[in-house]
Amino acid sequence: MMKIIVMCLIPTFLILPSVILRFSSVEPFHRGYFCEDTSIKYPYVEQQTVPAYLCLVTWTILCLVHFSIAYVTHKSKKMLFAALYKLILGFSLCMFITDVSKYSLGRLRPYFLAVCNPNLEEVCYQIEDSYIEVEDSDYSYTEIHHPKYVIENNTCTGNEDLMKEARLSFVSGHSSISFYIAMFLIIFMKEYIHKKLWRTMLQFTHIILAYWISITRINDYMHHPEDVIMGSIIGIACAYIIMFMEEYSVPKVEKQKDNPESFEMTVK
């Protein structure tokens, strides 16, 4: 009983920081910026190709399909619950790493300046008085505008909620979650779907889907390329860590006709 309670508490504690960060007034790290930085001067796209809710719904449906296939094939609730637990545990771990990275680093999204909308004259430049010598005259007065690194608070005039979201670029949550679930299902299929042709086609499709979702984040100016790459790496790493944990390994069905409900715990 105690072991079951501990197993349930682990993913709860892992997902708790993400819930607190996302649904509280906690602000991400406020990183400074140069107004002439072209990497954060892209337009803000309101209609995203793959919104967060659509990403989660898509992968949830795929997980349900695969779990249904596995259950119909092997008729084992034990196998199904073990796989579901590992999916939730890995998802919690992936979200924990992703959101802690986002709020700790506070990297600016490519559209940051579009929603920040700072006063260019007052905020972005350091004005220096200067005199230059002009022919047939004394000295002429001029002003030199030097770009400065803006670190002061309250320099943006945009919406506060948009500003908070604009500081959460690294790493890409779409990429980390997509590649985590894709790799989880790929490994899951390798263990429980034995028709090689169908399994290979499904595995390839899942990788392409995760890759496409990640690419849309760059096309929509929501993330820098390195945000997406690192998110993908985190997702893949979480999938391998969870799927190959020795203590809570998904049981592999023994291929014995006379005892189809027996299992052995294996670690690849």
Q: Note if 74 is an active site residue.
A: no
Please, which residues bridge with residue 147 across strands? 125
For residues 221 and 209, give the distance between their C-alpha atoms in angstroms, rounded to a whole number: 19
Please, which residues bridge with residue 132 across strands? 140
Sign of the C-alpha dihedral, residues 31, 37, 42, 48? Answer: negative
Which residue carries 């449906």 as its tokens? 61
For residues 240 and 187, give the distance between their C-alpha atoms in angstroms, rounded to a whole number: 9
The 3-state secondary structure of the chain reads: CHHHHHHHHHHHHHHHHHHHHHCCCCCCCCCCECCCCHHHCCCCCCCCCCCHHHHHHHHHHHHHHHHHHHHHHHCCHHHHHHHHHHHHHHHHHHHHHHHHHHHHHCCCCCCHHHHHCCCHHHHHEEEEEEEEECCCCCEEEEEEEEECCECCCCCCCCCHHHHHHCCCCCCCHHHHHHHHHHHHHHHHHHHHCCCHHHHHHHHHHHHHHHHHHHHHHHHCCCCCHHHHHHHHHHHHHHHHHHHCCCCCCCCEECCCCCCCCCEECCCC
Say which of 66, 206, 223, 224 is annotated catalytic. Answer: 223
Say which of 30, 74, 146, 174 is annotated catalytic. Answer: 174
Q: Note if 223 is an active site residue.
A: yes
Please identify every residue annotated as catalytic: 174, 223
